[in-house]
Amino acid sequence: MLSPPIARKSLLVTPPRMSKVERRQLFEAQVKAADQMAAEYQRQQQQMQQEQYEQVLHVLNLPSSEHSLLKEKILFFPFVTKAKRSIVR
């Protein structure tokens, strides 16, 4: 004869239930952190692009009258690989 099923207790510790206000606060904090990380990433990308632009200007030693034209071309082709950067330095 089969014995009745025994309810097993979970070994995982479950956190206490959060209230609606707590869940909303947690969500807002997560969104704010994600926004800050995205803004920091954008700032780093802009800084890296500016540094690459300055390196190209330094290597080419162009007069300042041609800087804006070159900057437009660099912004159109913003990728510079690590290998290319090491050659520029």
| DSSP-derived secondary structure for 18-43 | PPHHHHHHHHHHHHHHHHHHHHHHHH
pLDDT tier at 62 (50, 70, 90 boundaries)?
A: low
Long-range contacts from 27-31, C-beta under 8 angstroms, 24+ separation = none
pLDDT tier at 21 (50, 70, 90 boundaries)?
A: very high
Q: Compute how many other C-beta atoms are within 10 angstroms of the C-beta atom of residue 67.
A: 14
CB-based contact 55:84 (threshold 8 Å): no
